[in-house]
A and B are shown apart, each in its own frame.
Chain A
């Protein structure tokens, strides 16, 4: 059973960088795709991006200029950095595994989520 667990500060100041990590157990980040997804309070889900088993990254076009996703295979974890944050970046941030098979894809394992609030 794949398990994911997010960690990182729950409070970030405006204009600073949001940094989160996701440690994976029961599976290897050297396979599949590993994603970040966020959900502002009371709102829907937004895909942020992924890092693939080969280290290739892919980001949401609206966040691409501010996002970096990286991986540390020795620790079996991957990370999110989002710079120049504003209050609009306040959300629950989830890490998840993305499985892609042809025309089918899905986020089949999720972390519990971590609330990040952007406020001074």
Chain B
């Protein structure tokens, strides 16, 4: 079983819809992250959380919100989806600041 699980794997939806992407992990890591990947731009940080009560905005948080329901769960929401939020979204976890991040398999989100 995957250590970092993202659901759904793929999603197609319409402009204006509210969407939630979910991430759960069995690694026992406190640190969790949400990234967005666009072609030619690499990965950019949306939000990150160091524990349940510590949530921080990343480079591109506008239009997104997050919820850290438990140490193992970190959800990303798009309150009112727009087409330029079409991208591949990754969740990641890490043990500490100097340790590698472990990624889920990504959610490919298409907004029509």
The answer on A and B forming one complex is no
